[in-house]
Structure 1
């Protein structure tokens, strides 16, 4: 089978020698692309199977590599020297195969091998994060766990659960990162009284797109809220969701997993994929970050309100999440449970268990006074209401997820701001 290749190397000096790869009987050049736009347009036409790129191609980033993968075009990197900084950059952008320009036979074999392997849009990472420059926790430690907190529409309390769960995990002494990834309107920063015009999430996504995100860089973009607790603030405006692509969020989560024992994600409510119906070409996916979070999570927490409307949405939402992430058994939380609804805790639990088929459902007591106090003072529940029943419920949930006795969790000292 003949293999069509696209050459987009930015006019480097070694381009003429690189084109000798087309002397192979099974390889031919479809087009020498002048820029990224030309490369992506030709790739989308389906004329080529492999794109050969260099670090000198202006505008080449992780998003471009992902778009090529979406077009079923494999990517092979080329450099003047395989031990150069260009090679490290190409690998951080997600290009796993990088060859020297003067080794034509090795380049030809890399092109053939790229076609044989499944096309991937996920960047490759070294032991300590993306590329050699990344740093992480102590070598030999297991990777951290990702916890996605999701809930249906109607403000069931996703952000309160995300923040409180993160705070309790941090109280256990585990380095914890909270990511506000709600692309319809982040709320973690105002809940904590953070006046942050510069979004940590957007800054980290930009760094990931350039192949420059590592554990140290992630720490720079995050805000230190308390001992063992950092927060990556969300979107300042909902219309900036286009800057948080799924492939960039995947890179961010891979770095966070290596840098923190727990990464808690406050997800958006929407799981729809309507963009795929509305566009003939690769579509921008507003819900891509949410779906990526759920797919990457080790633990999924689904939260819904205890009232009749909230329970209906919760039951449907649990089924949606289990369909989106096959094999995942979520932790189900019924929030704002109160006697005024006329149902006992046992009745609510049995109702949700029957409707979802799950064995365990947790009820979170309604405590508007504690939540209001935390919101007004920009604090977590652990700080302003450490002995509240709601806080104890979050402590028990954190202990369950972390695998430690709940009594041990409650003995931990109160969080203090740094």
Structure 2
């Protein structure tokens, strides 16, 4: 600001306007008209120059065209953080898409005088003149004030020009807009900073929205993805499952789907440019089962910049309008959403932070071992201030087992969380590795493949806690009774199987002397079994009597041949002379 005064330029104020348009000659002349109280300080050639001028403090107002150098919502978000607001000029067909961006939207066909009048209204609503000093007389005229000023304390020429421009702006009459113009106030947070896109969407009138569930937790893979897939399959109504994990996305592999391009990145790119609508979202969603669709996540962690925080709330809003429940699986661990002081870009965890603030239910999943419980308690302690969820919080402890928590694992975990974290109401999931592995191999969620298992019944209770209208516990109990009945029936059949086998062996047809199997005639009586052999002296093996007896019983049985020398063998293997 000091440099601008030394160069004779006007310091920033409500009059400093940045133009980012293709053809701006008419609007330039309308803004620079004497008496408007505004001046164009920079005509920008691209978004980099626009952002640079805004961060340098050259102006507080901007007129930007929606077709200007790949403009998106991230650029508007950084302009808001730099303290610049203004007016968007969009074609008539695209005005509706940009209305939720947070800036007033005007048609490119509007006359330059109407654009200037609209900009004056925006400036009056967001800025105010500095007003007189406390020690200055209220009735002093400009000439008297100039006469009373000494040469030693004479203000710079730039400051005098700025004060004159403020007076000119205040003296300018309030413009009267044509009836076709309907200015919409911008949503402002209670602290005075520009509101987030989610707040702007709420102000815009998005009331018919479905529920939003966010599954989060500490590091260490405690089972967030498994819980998110089960919630999406158990909640009542149509659901949309979103993989927003920017570190280790895995919902595609968990559900056995081919890894294709990221649908979430596509939706974010369309929302950034105001091109996302219900029809486009329906095309990029992948059907998983009846009433359940998936929005696939990023393929690699390095692509997290493809999810701009300024555009993601628009994606969530469209998903909530398209389904009764939207379940979002996010990355675990601490959240870093600090804004960079140099680029004014939000941090890596800004998307997760905005989801936690706007979610209806936040499910925090931790592991049921000493390390997992400690990480869970640390995460709950740090969940203060701006990151505290506005909705309901459900704490879930997964993989609770006696080998890691003692003889009574569930009671031990509950007592530890109640004692050290003041967490009384906790959902405990048993360690059912066999069921989880089977569901992973089948590519289905636990509530779809094994709802009657111990893990399935525990997840059904969690679903009913999130939405009592789901009735997941009743369905899981009914399925569990059916599974137990089928197991009992199979066990009874297995016990009866040996008796049936012996009967089939007794009724098997016998072979005739020639080797052909002879079957009884149809309607003939079943022949009686042969009589047992008479008791008598047992013939020595290898003798003629023994061979004759064997041949009488089984003609096809191999017969033992006598020794070449005609002698019999002893049991010890020696020959008898």
Q: TM-score, normalised by structure 1?
A: 0.86
Q: Which moved more, 1:326-335 or 1:200-209?
A: 326-335
Q: 1:3 aligns with which of 15, 38, 45?
A: 15
Q: Distance in 2 between matches of 1:354 and 1:328?
A: 24
DSSP 3-state at the match of 2:32: helix
1:161: which partner in 2?
A: 227
2:551: which partner in 1?
A: none
Contact 1:69 1:121 in 2 (8 A): no
- Residue 187 (1) aligns with residue 250 (2): yes
Pair 1:274–1:322, CA change in 2 (3 A): closer
After superposition, the C-alpha distances for 1:96-137 in whole angstroms (9 at most, x for unaligned) are 34363431323322343355864345275599999xxxxxxx
1:335 deviates by 0.4
1:122: which partner in 2?
A: 197
Q: 2:32 aligns with which of 14, 22, 30?
A: 22
After superposition, the C-alpha distances for 1:280-308 in whole angstroms (9 at most, x for unaligned) are 33235221221121111111111100100
Contact 1:305 1:335 in 2 (8 A): yes
1:76 deviates by 0.9
Pair 1:19–1:297, CA change in 2 (3 A): farther
- Residue 263 (1) aligns with residue 326 (2): yes
Q: Distance in 2 between matches of 1:253 and 1:300?
A: 15
Q: Which moved more, 1:306-315 or 1:29-38?
A: 29-38
Pair 1:257–1:327, CA change in 2 (3 A): closer
Contact 2:217 2:364 in 1 (8 A): yes
Q: Which runs of 5+ in 2 are unaligned?
A: 1-12, 129-185, 189-193, 481-577
Pair 1:11–1:239, CA change in 2 (3 A): same
DSSP 3-state at the match of 1:154: coil
Q: Which runs of 5+ in 1 are unaligned?
A: 131-140
Q: 2:356 aligns with which of 294, 298, 321?
A: 294
Q: 1:214 aligns with which of 257, 274, 277?
A: 277
- Residue 245 (1) aligns with residue 302 (2): no
1:47 deviates by 2.1
Q: Distance in 1 between matches of 2:478 and 2:212?
A: 22
Q: Distance in 2 between matches of 1:230 and 1:128?
A: 27
Q: Distance in 1 between matches of 2:372 and 2:222?
A: 7
1:156 deviates by 0.8
Pair 1:380–1:326, CA change in 2 (3 A): closer
Q: Which moved more, 1:158-167 or 1:398-407?
A: 398-407
- Residue 308 (1) aligns with residue 370 (2): yes
DSSP 3-state at the match of 1:247: coil
1:89 deviates by 4.2
1:3 deviates by 2.9
DSSP 3-state at the match of 2:103: coil
Pair 1:272–1:265, CA change in 2 (3 A): same
- Residue 42 (1) aligns with residue 49 (2): no
The runs of 4+ residues in structure 1 deviating greater than 6 Å are 126-130, 411-414
Q: 2:299 aligns with which of 232, 236, 239?
A: 236
2:447: which partner in 1?
A: 382
Q: Distance in 2 between matches of 1:111 and 1:2?
A: 6
DSSP 3-state at the match of 1:68: helix
Q: Which moved more, 1:318-327 or 1:285-294?
A: 318-327
2:429: which partner in 1?
A: 364
Contact 2:17 2:59 in 1 (8 A): yes
After superposition, the C-alpha distances for 1:202-236 in whole angstroms (9 at most, x for unaligned) are 11111111111122222222111011111111111
- Residue 109 (1) aligns with residue 121 (2): yes
1:186 deviates by 0.4
Contact 2:239 2:324 in 1 (8 A): yes
1:31: which partner in 2?
A: 42
- Residue 204 (1) aligns with residue 267 (2): yes
Aligned length: 395
Higher relative contact order (CA 8 A, sep 6+): 1
Q: Distance in 1 between matches of 2:101 and 2:29?
A: 23
Q: Distance in 2 between matches of 1:127 and 1:227?
A: 33
Whichever of the two has the greater Rg, that structure is 2
Pair 1:18–1:126, CA change in 2 (3 A): farther
1:51: which partner in 2?
A: 62
Pair 1:39–1:409, CA change in 2 (3 A): farther
DSSP 3-state at the match of 2:382: helix
Q: Distance in 2 between matches of 1:255 and 1:357?
A: 37
RMSD: 2.7
Contact 1:301 1:332 in 2 (8 A): yes
Q: TM-score, normalised by structure 2?
A: 0.64
Contact 2:246 2:298 in 1 (8 A): yes
